[in-house]
Amino acid sequence: MSKHNFKDYLNEFLDYLKFTKNFSGNTITSYRTDLIQFGIFLSDFIEVDFNDCEFEFDIEFVDAKTLKAFIADIYSQNKIDIKKVSKYKKKSVARKISVLKAFFRFLKLKNYIKRNPASGLLFPKLPKPLPVNLTAPELETLLEEKGTINLRIFDKAILELFYGTGIRLSELINLKLNDVNFYNNTVKVFGKGSKERIVPFGKKAYTALKNYLEIREICDLKKSEYYFIDSKGNKLYPMKVQRIIKKDLALVTKVNKKSPHILRHSFATHLLDSGADIKSIQEMLGHSSLSTTQIYTHISLDKLKKAYKQSHPKA
């Protein structure tokens, strides 16, 4: 099955991501966009019309040189000097390389190709900025019971859950009523790839979530199964939650990116600073690889070095 319509390859791969790998709709859309761009490049390369339904070719002709030519074409589209390319552009190229690797790995898995031409592609070097987090005093000021900041019950529940469990924005939005267990203070979360995990929460989150339940009934016009709903009974959408977090965090911090993810970073960093082991933090965050979680150890190490320099006479 060497001679094949490129769009058939593409559609079969996207179905694989959706039904076998359980990728999210947004991720699949991103993969589709990048591979269509690659398909257009290939059509120019072999001088055919990409929109022609007869765009058929021997996939084996796509070798490492072809893929490198595609990457070079991305860099050259805006006449960008590769040595001076922006961080954003590098991230975009890295994503496209990742998509190509996944696509050709799939073709090899299906025996559509004998060799994987993308296996040797190298990612552009990207700086690895450390996650930004709020300080414990900042969060204490924001969330304290009898403080100067009077948060809405709705906001308080969302903030306490984010900081108390480290869950992602998409996980909070999709949280259902029966996912919250008040008997053992845990939430059942469905993370990336529909992987389920159980995360504990503390007394403050317990109180905030209970208080929200008391007023939730007023808004529950549609008998929603989702835990957090808006005033019309609809499931929350990401932008609404992001606006709430940005508004509330602006009361206590001047960090540039005031997003739900900063609360996830704060959750992990403060746990590590307090002596929690990295493996437990990995499980609570839902990271598939420990290396992803280990970035938080760098934050704590930087703090240790700073404390050493400030305090040790021989520093």
Q: Is 287 a catalytic residue?
A: yes
Q: Is 216 a catalytic residue?
A: no
Q: What is d(CA 311, CA 17) in angstroms, rounded to the nearest whole number? A: 53
Token readout for 88 is 């954003």
Selecting among 192, 204, 235, 246, the annotated active-site residue is 192
Q: Is 296 a catalytic residue?
A: yes
Q: Is 261 a catalytic residue?
A: yes
Q: What is d(CA 96, CA 98) in angstroms, rounded to the nearest whole number? A: 5
Q: What is d(CA 269, CA 35) in angstroms, rounded to the nearest whole number? A: 37
Q: What is d(CA 100, CA 10) in angstroms, rounded to the nearest whole number? A: 11
Q: Is 31 a catalytic residue?
A: no
Enumerate residues 6+ apart whose C-beta is below 8 A from 198: 186, 187, 188, 189
Selecting among 156, 258, 261, 265, the annotated active-site residue is 261
Strand partners, 5: 56
Q: What is d(CA 263, CA 241) in angstroms, rounded to the nearest whole number? A: 13
Q: Is 264 a catalytic residue?
A: yes
Closest CA to 228 of 183, 187, 177, 188: 177
Per-residue b or e along 122-160, where b marks 16 or more CB atoms closer than 10 Å to that residue's CB: eebeeeeeeebbbeeebbebbbeeeeeeebeebbbbbbb
Selecting among 9, 31, 227, 296, the annotated active-site residue is 296
Calculate Rg over the CA atoms of the chain: 24
Selecting among 156, 168, 258, 270, the annotated active-site residue is 168
Q: What is the DSSP letter of 288?
A: S
Per-residue b or e along 2-20, where b marks 16 or more CB atoms closer than 10 Å to that residue's CB: eeeebbebbeebbebbeee
Closest CA to 10 of 27, 33, 41: 33
Active-site positions read 168, 192, 261, 264, 287, 296
